[in-house]
Structure 1
């Protein structure tokens, strides 16, 4: 069975034009239904997977006789998840598997969650080979928070995975749960807090399981001494440096380790004694000094005395909604800090109150501004545009999906050196037709494709692009395309076009 990528690669020019019509927001409903019924697979894939759909088309997609077509709809991130959820009992394994698999979304984004009742039903009725862990990406924040105490045992069993963050009373309840699977999972997690069990089970060869135990699980003194005296690799000292169970004397020892990466890991520990804090604050390695400069016990004055530097080329992505809201006092303390990394922690919280939002939107630190723009639902338009212009990280495009990203005036960037910035012109509803037409000949293919869909594209140029092997797909998705031409495209016999557009 071909993959979606292979389906698209195999599509010829007429099929790609039809796929553009399928994506066009101005395409009449009757044509969409015709494409769904009679269109080739590449067109049905794009139609069912890559756009918002009218209700009548949704109904037709849900009952389409072709399994693959229903599976495309099952992974549509644009439709209401409750519509996708109607495929929960589809007779075909293939469709149910694609429903369980999270829809494709831009990097840094999360798919909208399925209804809670659908997710719980899937956990109870779908086989593990269908769920494959991907269902977790489609759980609502409320359901995720409730999992350890949820009335449904299948949900509680999944919630055991939050073990390290659970209070003692919740852990005890899971260990005594009436459901065997819940108890078994809880007991497995509890064993990881038993140093003797970890020592018995620790693999005697380098592997993922050994690294996990050394980094995160309760370590006996014998295991720690073995790593210090006879490690299987030099990196094992680094592995245990952040382990919460590390004895205090070993923390002291590793704080003076010759490897700066080990000292950096030690510098991040919340249990550092004052002597180690002072020593690491004056460490010769800048990464160590930076790590210790955000230690929670330091005062602002003590932080300011540390010679740290915050990198300017950091990674500032969108973050998922936290399981539990942050303490408002902690959030305000971070926002008020003179340390950019602490202000960055505040900036990525979507619950930041309006006064702190306004203040951090004008922050001198790029990371603070971009994290605020990436994560706050009320990030202002000016901040979003400034962040897009200043930041070149791989998740930059996520900024354009934020609610307040501006449109007016973006044609002013039509001659910018950065092609991603030039492409912003496609978002300006008032871009001059001549500018739009010129950018369909831009050196960058992404700019050409974006402007081929602009409704201000002159009709003569739009007609030319419908016969362009590269841009026909984008041109056919242009909402300024005449409905009569859409009908011609759908009725065409695959020939190259000679359309006269007014």
Structure 2
């Protein structure tokens, strides 16, 4: 694009719910990260545009789809059929205050049996993973959504299987988080990971984004 005005116009068009699919595909072909980021949470992320992002040769485009809070869970789960590196993006899932529903149980089955330990670990600790503990139905662990926002779709047996396969850092802490009767304390938050202590401590860098914060990736970088 030649001017900043044209770039801002394309960014706005990427978020237009009335924009036809052929226009959105042309915007995707620009390979502009901020515009593609806006496309990733388009209100009608279906059909040709979704398929184009799903099979895109660039990994960062596919990972934007995995992080989309408007993409259907079944669509995000199909990323598991692509390159192995996409599994981590599916495991981490969208931001907790924007998720609509967890992936299908079949996707969890594949994630919890993935050959990479980090994928299994992130699946167990993802904020969007439904929690089967008593009194937690409908509340993803670490979510800022009120109770009842999501169905608790993961069966306890499958959760126990996660405990057996998640051999990542601090497996005992993972077990305590998922044990029956464990309260929704700070251990239930996705940020409470082995590498998060320094970042979340008072005065530490990289503070967590607040719920309700606007999307990043606008053309001016804000």
Q: TM-score range by the shorter chain?
A: 0.5 to 0.7
Aligned equivalents of 2:42, 2:9: Cα separation in 1 = 15
Matched, 1:82 2:74: yes
Instruction: Find 1:99's aligned residue among 90, 115, 120.
Output: 90
Structure 2: state its 5+ residue gaps.
131-150, 167-173, 183-196, 198-209
- How big is the shift at 1:84? 0.6
Moved more, 76-85 or 62-71: 62-71
Taking CA–CA contacts closer than 8 Å with sequence separation of 6 or more, which of the two structures ends up with the larger relative contact order? Answer: 2
Q: Which residue of structure 1 lines up, in the alignment, with residue 19 of structure 2?
A: 27
Q: Which residue of structure 2 lines up, in the alignment, with residue 120 of structure 1?
A: 109
The within-5 A match list for 1:303-318 is: none
Answer whether contact 2:69 2:99 (CA < 8 A) is retained: no
TM-score (norm 2): 0.58
Partner SS, residue 110 of structure 2: helix
Moved more, 52-61 or 131-140: 131-140
Matched, 1:139 2:129: yes
RMSD: 3.5
Aligned equivalents of 2:83, 2:64: Cα separation in 1 = 15
Q: Which residue of structure 1 lines up, in the alignment, with residue 191 of structure 2?
A: none
- How big is the shift at 1:82? 0.5
TM-score (norm 1): 0.28
Aligned equivalents of 2:102, 2:181: Cα separation in 1 = 23
Structure 1: state its 5+ residue gaps.
1-10, 167-207, 209-393, 399-445, 447-469, 473-502
1:320-373 deviations in Å (ceiling 9; x for gaps): xxxxxxxxxxxxxxxxxxxxxxxxxxxxxxxxxxxxxxxxxxxxxxxxxxxxxx
Partner SS, residue 127 of structure 2: helix
User: What is the number of equivalent residue pairs in this alignment?
Assistant: 159
Partner SS, residue 104 of structure 1: coil
Instruction: Find 2:7's aligned residue among 8, 15, 29.
Output: 15
Q: Which residue of structure 2 lines up, in the alignment, with residue 220 of structure 1?
A: none
Aligned equivalents of 1:131, 1:114: Cα separation in 2 = 15
User: Structure 1 residue runs of 4+, over 6 Å off?
Assistant: none
Q: Which residue of structure 1 lines up, in the alignment, with residue 162 of structure 2?
A: 155
Evaluate the alpha carbon distance shift between residue 131 and residue 18 of structure 1 in structure 2; reply closer, same or farther with a 3 A threshold.
farther
User: Larger % of helix: which?
Assistant: 1
Larger radius of gyration: 1
- How big is the shift at 1:39? 4.4
Moved more, 66-75 or 133-142: 133-142
Aligned equivalents of 2:76, 2:53: Cα separation in 1 = 10
Aligned equivalents of 2:119, 2:4: Cα separation in 1 = 33
Evaluate the alpha carbon distance shift between residue 92 and residue 123 of structure 1 in structure 2; reply closer, same or farther with a 3 A threshold.
closer
1:391-420 deviations in Å (ceiling 9; x for gaps): xxx86x69xxxxxxxxxxxxxxxxxxxxxx
Aligned equivalents of 1:471, 1:87: Cα separation in 2 = 27
